[in-house]
Amino acid sequence: MQTNSKASRLAAVRRFYVYLVAFVSQVAMLVGVNDIVEMISRSWLQREGIMAGVYLRTATANAISVLVVATPIFLIHWWLAQRYRDDLAERQSVLRKLFLYGSTAAGLVVLLSNAYNLTRDLGLLALGAPVAATELLPAGWLHWSFMAVVGVGLIYHWHSVLVSDGDFGKEASAAHFIRQLFLAIAGLVGLGIAVWGARTLIQIGLQVLVDMVIGAADLNWWRLPLGGAWSQTLIGLWLLHAIWQQWQELVRINAAEGRAVLRRIYLYIGVLVGAIATLTPAALLLREGLLMLFGTGGGSTAELLDRMVGPVSFIPVGVVVWRWYWMTLRRETDAYGDSGQSAMVRRIYAYLVAATGLALLWVGAVELLHALIDAALTGGDVWREPLANGIALLVVGAPIWTIFWRRVQFVAERNDAAGAGERDSWPRKLYLYGVALVGALVLLFTLAQVIYRVLLTLMGEPTMALSSNELAHRLADSAVAAVLWAVHLLAIRADGRFEKLPDAELAQAAPASSDERRAALEAHIAWLEAELETARRELAHLEHLPQSAGAAKQA
C-alpha cells in the first residue's frame, strides 16, 4: 500500500512537470509561428510601408529563435506524456485533461482572433470601405488565413486525442469536471461575443436612423463599426453553436450529462445574461420616459434619441437569449430531472435572483418615498428625478422578487420531503438571515438617527425641527426596512414551526412525477454502464500485464 501511494505521488509530480512544460512550450511555438508568418507575408506581398532594416531582421530572428527552442521541447515532453498512454490512470488523469482542454482553448483563441480579423476586413471591403482602412490587403489575408487554419488543426488534433483516450464523455469525476468547465466557459465566451456583436449591429442601425431624422452631417461613419460588429456576431454564434452541439452529442452518449451541475450552471448564467440585458435597459428607458413625463431631464430631441439608442439596442438581443436559455433549461429539467447538485444550483439561482429583485425593490421604495416627502415638504423640481428612479426600480424589482419569492415559498410551505429540503437548504438560510441582518442594521441606524433628532428638538435645539426633510427621510428608510425585515422574520419563524422529517424519509423521497423518476433512473443506469465499461477496460489492461511478463520470461 505504501509503495502504491508513493508511486502515485511520483506519477502526479511527473505529470505536472511534463504537461506544464508541454503547454508552455506549445504556446511559445504558436507565438513564434504567428510572428514568422506575419513577417513572411509582409516581406513577400507588402512592398510599400513595410518595416524594413534592423527591425525586420530583429523581429524575424526573435521569432525563429523562439520556434527553434520551443518546438523540440514540446515534442520531447509530449512524447514523454504519450509513453504512458497505455496506462488507464494516465489517460484518466486530471492533469492530462487540463493539458488537452487547455491546448484546445489555445487553438480556439488562435482560430477566433484570426477569423475575426479576416471576416471584419472582408466585411469592410464588401461595405465599400477603402482598402487603406483595412489590413486585409496586401498581406493580412495570408497571415490571418494561415493562422486560422493552424487553429482549426490544433482543435481537431487535440479533440482526436481526447476521443482516442477512450473515456470522452464518460470520464472519472474530476476529469469530468474539467471537460464540463471547458464547455461552460467556451459557451459563455461565445454568448458574450454574440450578444455584444448583435447588440452593436442593432445600435448601428438605430443610430443611422436617428442621424437621418436629426439631419446629422456625417452619415457614412457606420462602415467601420459595422465590419467589427458583424464579425463578432458570426464568430460568437459559431462558437456558441459548436459548443452546444458537442454538449448535445455528449448527452446522447451519456444521459447523466443532461443534468450535470456545470451544464445547469451554464444554462442559468445564460438566463441571467438575457434577463440583465433585457431588464436593465428597460428600466433606463422607463426612467427616461418618466423624466419626459415630469418635464425635466430630457434635453433636446437629438440628445434624448442618442441616449436611448444604447439601451434599446440591448433589449431584442436580451429577449432572444433569455427565452432560448429559459426554454432549454425547462426542457432539460423535464427530460433529465434534477440531481442533488443541480437542484442546489436551481436553489442558488432562485434565491440570488430573489435577492437582486429585493434590492431593487428596496432602493426603489426608498427613492419613491423620499421623492414624495420632498414634493410635500419642499416643492420645486428636486423630487422629479428621485421619483422617476424609484418608479423604474420598483417596476423592475417588485415583479422579480414577488415571482421568485412566491416560487420558493410555495415549496418551503409544503409539509413533505421537498418542503423540508427547501427549508433546510443553505441558500434559503443565507438569503433569509442575510436579509434579516441587513434589515436589522438599517433599522438600528435609521431609528437611532430619528430618536437622536427628536431628542435634540425636545431639548430646544434651534437647528432641528420635527418637520424637516431629513427626519422624514430617516422615517421612510425605517418603514421600508421594517416591512421587509418583518416579512423575512416571519418566514424564518414559519420554517421553524414545521415538523422535521427523519433523515431516512428525506433520503427515500421520490421525485415529484413519474417522468422525473424515469429520467433519474435512466441517468443512473447510464452512469452505471459507464462505470462498468471503465472497470472492464482496467481489468483487460491488468490481465494483459502477466501475459507480457510471461512472454518476456520465455524469450
- Structural domain includes residue 553: no
pLDDT for 126 equals 86
| Residue 376 or residue 64, greater confidence | 64
Q: How confident is the model at residue 506 (pLDDT cuts 50, 70, 90)?
A: very low
Q: How confident is the model at residue 544 (pLDDT cuts 50, 70, 90)?
A: low
> H-type helices in 413-513, by residue range?
417-424, 426-458, 469-497, 503-507
pLDDT for 194 equals 96
- Structural domain includes residue 543: no
Percent of the chain with pLDDT over 90: 51
Cα–Cα dist 234/244, whole Å: 15
Q: How confident is the model at residue 385 (pLDDT cuts 50, 70, 90)?
A: confident
Across residues 519-548, what is the average pLDDT?
62
pLDDT for 216 equals 65
Q: How confident is the model at residue 257 (pLDDT cuts 50, 70, 90)?
A: confident
Give per-residue pLDDT as tens, 387-419: 899 999 999 999 999 999 999 999 998 888 888
Task: Please tell me the total count of domains within the chain.
Answer: 2
* 539 Cβ neighbours under 8 A, 6+ residues apart: none
Amino acid at 266: Y
Exposed/middle/buried for residue 528 (C-beta within 10 Å: 0-12, 13-18, 19+): exposed
User: Per-residue pLDDT for 509 more than 60?
Assistant: no
- Structural domain includes residue 528: no
Cα–Cα dist 109/60, whole Å: 23
- The closest alpha carbon to 289, from 307, 273, 262, belongs to 307
Spatial contact of 14 and 90, defined as CB atoms under 8 Å apart: no
Question: Which of 20-24, 44-48, 235-239 has the weakest average pLDDT?
Answer: 44-48
pLDDT for 543 equals 63
Joined grid coordinates for residue 507: 433520503
Q: How confident is the model at residue 5 (pLDDT cuts 50, 70, 90)?
A: low
Cα–Cα dist 235/269, whole Å: 20
3-class secondary structure, 202: helix
Q: Which of 475, 499, 523 is the last residue of a domain?
A: 499
pLDDT for 18 equals 96
Give residue for cell 442533488.
340
Across residues 459-473, what is the average pLDDT?
71
- Structural domain includes residue 181: no
Mean per-residue pLDDT over the chain, rounded: 85
- Structural domain includes residue 542: no
Give per-residue pLDDT as tens, 109-137: 999 999 999 999 998 888 887 887 788 88
Cα–Cα dist 310/44, whole Å: 44
Q: Which of 121, 136, 167 is the last residue of a domain?
A: 167
* 148 Cβ neighbours under 8 A, 6+ residues apart: 110, 111, 114, 115, 118
Give per-residue pLDDT as tens, 149-206: 999 999 999 999 999 998 888 887 788 899 999 999 999 999 999 999 999 999 999 8
Give per-residue pLDDT as tens, 215-242: 666 667 888 888 899 999 999 999 999 9
- Structural domain includes residue 535: no
DSSP annotation string for 8-62 = HHHHHHHHHHHHHHHHHHHHHHHHHHHHHHHHHHHHHH--SS---THHHHHHHHH
Spatial contact of 186 and 243, defined as CB atoms under 8 Å apart: yes
Could you list the residue range(s) of the whole structural domain that residue 133 is in?
Answer: 12-167
- Structural domain includes residue 272: no
Q: Which of 167, 182, 212 is the last residue of a domain?
A: 167
- Structural domain includes residue 57: yes
Give CA separation, 31 vs 106, 160, 203, 396, in Å.
Answer: 11, 23, 35, 48
